[in-house]
């Protein structure tokens, strides 16, 4: 048994214990007897110290040229590459995803570092003609200030990188509040930022419970921006608080993503996409395929193919290279998934395979749920409308392409979507008519790339897009600059024409 790590706060360039001194534990979801780390249950006092440090550092950091700021982030990318395997193994133990997925999690952070660093030499504004003679007009990007980054446990390296790296390149300072389930991953990530040489106070880490530390950050008057990834319910609360104080807020929340399989689809390809989309990361992704919308002509055949493939999936610890589906993150989420299966049965859905907590052999020591297929699901059932966040996929039969699009759109979410078809006209119609921030043609609903915008519509988000150049619109303000070199007063919007 490995000695548990001790996770402290990182404030103003120093590793500190919480003022109150209380601690919590992070355990291995594949083996709940193993304590991965102890971490601090911080309070508002610790948040206050982090905000003061970030505020002071901002006044210096914002004046560092953007290309120089970007060099720190590039160095973080190099260090992530150096520690990639160590981080991946830690993700496996603390969060539970299979090792190949864990390496992919770290690789996203690496990709984000190098992409974000390149923006330090761009951060483009615009120049445009003035309506006045001898007058110059342009726009420039300005940093916002202190950014609170509140991140989930399912991508404990990638998502913090998606937020922190562009925020820093843009000239902001950061207070990072990670999920309670992955404090060790967060600590190792911040150690890497510190090793890259960031000045004190530019990157800060505060551990703790969301209802305490998260709320204190969101409500703090000297936090200028909140970037939150998590449930739509919590996101609504975060948005409400920020709205009352006119604070910039970026929300990336839930999804109820669907994959359509039409009668002309390549069924083997669609099957690969469905299995990966539904059961990758044990379904614990906001982009997971939780609904399969199947045309009636291929429904029976495709269902049989899916059932056979699903029955062969191997559950286990993420560190086992043979594992295909890892554990659920904790007991609370495991029971939530189980309760949704009770709801599904009560609503009349048929469990084709799975449907239970997995307890055989070594699985008994962890939080495992059988990969599950629900058949005879109707669009209005709760299991077709609500985010389950587990290895559960609902099958819905349709008679036409138009019905498939209508059912896909008929949820409160709009993050990711997918359609398998050989018909180019249908593909382009789907691209136009699907209500989602992301649409895949002949690909699964998961697989975002860091140089493209990521986010959704409806209750999935509030209009912002992380990743790509669009993330710069989260972490910067536009400033318009006029330079009048006429030597006289020129009054714009005054009608002085004869």
Tokens of 281: 């990361």
Nearest to 123 by CA among 471, 450, 481: 471
In contact, 352 and 374? CB cutoff 8 Å: yes
Residues near 236 by Cβ (< 8 Å), separated by ≥ 6? none
* 7 catalytically annotated: no
Residues near 298 by Cβ (< 8 Å), separated by ≥ 6? 261, 262, 263, 265, 267
* 250 catalytically annotated: no
Task: Return the number of other C-beta atoms located less than 10 Å from residue 240's C-beta.
Answer: 11
In contact, 460 and 253? CB cutoff 8 Å: yes
d(CA 189, CA 174): 13
Q: How far is CA 377 from CA 171, 278, 290, 343, in A?
A: 49, 16, 12, 12
Nearest to 373 by CA among 397, 353, 349, 344: 353
d(CA 148, CA 254): 20
Q: What is the DSSP string of 122-166?
A: ----EEEE-SSTTEEEEEEEEE--EEEEE--SSSTTHHHHHHHHH
Dihedral-angle region of residue 355 (phi above 0 means left; psi in -120 to 50 means alpha; beta otherwise): left
d(CA 257, CA 211): 28
Q: How far is CA 230 from CA 59, 106, 284, 407, in A?
A: 30, 20, 12, 25
Which of 7, 92, 112, 286 is flagged as catalytic? 286
Q: Which segments of 30-120 does DSSP mark as H helices, in order?
A: 44-61, 66-82, 84-94, 99-119
Residues near 227 by Cβ (< 8 Å), separated by ≥ 6? 147, 148, 149, 150, 163, 167, 249, 250, 466, 474
Element at 354 (helix H, strand E)? none
Tokens of 243: 């709205």
Interior angle at CA 480, CA 477 and CA 481, nearest 5 = 130
Tokens of 336: 């939530």
d(CA 372, CA 361): 19
Nearest to 204 by CA among 80, 63, 64, 51: 51
Which of 252, 308, 386, 403 is flagged as catalytic? 252
Catalytic residues: 252, 286
């Amino acid at each position: 048994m490995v000695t548990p790590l001790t996770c402290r706060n990182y404030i103003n360039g120093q590793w500190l214990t919480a003022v109150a001194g209380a601690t919590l534990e992070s355990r291995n979801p594949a083996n709940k007897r193993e304590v991965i780390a102890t971490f601090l249950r911080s309070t508002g006092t610790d948040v206050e110290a982090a905000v003061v440090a970030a505020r002071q550092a901002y006044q210096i950091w914002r004046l560092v040229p953007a290309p120089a700021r970007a060099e720190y982030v590039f160095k973080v990318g190099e260090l992530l590459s150096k520690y990639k395997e160590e981080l991946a193994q830690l993700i496996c133990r603390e969060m539970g995803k299979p090792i190949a997925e864990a390496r992919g999690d770290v690789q996203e952070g690496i990709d984000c570092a190098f992409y974000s660093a390149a923006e330090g030499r761009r951060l483009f504004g615009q120049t445009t003609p003035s309506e006045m003679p001898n007058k110059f007009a342009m726009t420039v990007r300005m940093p916002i200030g202190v950014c609170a980054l509140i991140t989930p446990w399912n991508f404990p390296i990638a998502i913090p990188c998606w937020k922190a790296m562009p925020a820093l390149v843009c000239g902001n300072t950061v207070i990072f509040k990670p999920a309670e389930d992955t404090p060790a991953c967060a600590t190792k990530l911040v150690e890497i930022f510190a090793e890259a040489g960031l000045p004190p106070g530019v990157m800060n880490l505060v551990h703790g419970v969301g209802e305490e530390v998260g709320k204190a950050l969101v409500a703090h008057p000297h936090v200028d921006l909140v970037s939150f990834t998590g449930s739509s319910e919590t996101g609504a609360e975060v948005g409400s608080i920020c709205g009352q104080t006119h604070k910039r807020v970026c929300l990336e929340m839930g999804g109820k993503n669907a994959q359509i399989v039409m009668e002309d689809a390549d069924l083997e390809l669609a099957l690969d996409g469905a299995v990966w989309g539904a059961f990758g990361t044990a379904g614990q992704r906001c982009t997971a395929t939780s609904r399969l919308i199947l045309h009636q002509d291929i429904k029976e055949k495709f269902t049989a193919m899916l059932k056979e493939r699903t029955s062969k999936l191997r559950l286990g610890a993420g560190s086992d290279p043979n594992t295909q589906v890892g554990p659920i993150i904790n007991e609370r989420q495991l029971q939530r998934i189980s309760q949704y299966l009770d709801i599904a049965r009560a609503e009349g859905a048929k469990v084709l395979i799975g449907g239970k907590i997995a307890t055989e052999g070594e699985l008994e020591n962890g939080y495992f749920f059988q990969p599950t297929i629900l058949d005879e699901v109707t669009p209005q059932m709760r299991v077709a409308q609500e985010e389950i966040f587990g290895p559960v996929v609902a099958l819905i039969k349709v008679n036409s392409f138009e019905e498939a699009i209508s059912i896909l759109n008929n949820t409160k979410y709009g993050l990711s979507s997918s359609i398998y078809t050989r018909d180019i006209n249908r593909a382009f119609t789907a691209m136009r008519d699907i209500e989602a921030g992301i649409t895949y043609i002949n690909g699964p609903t998961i697989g975002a790339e860091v140089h493209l915008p990521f986010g959704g519509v409806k209750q999935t988000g509030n209009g912002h897009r992380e990743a790509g150049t669009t993330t710069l619109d989260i972490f910067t303000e536009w400033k318009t600059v006029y330079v009048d070199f006429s030597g006289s007063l020129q009054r714009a919007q005054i009608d002085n024409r004869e």
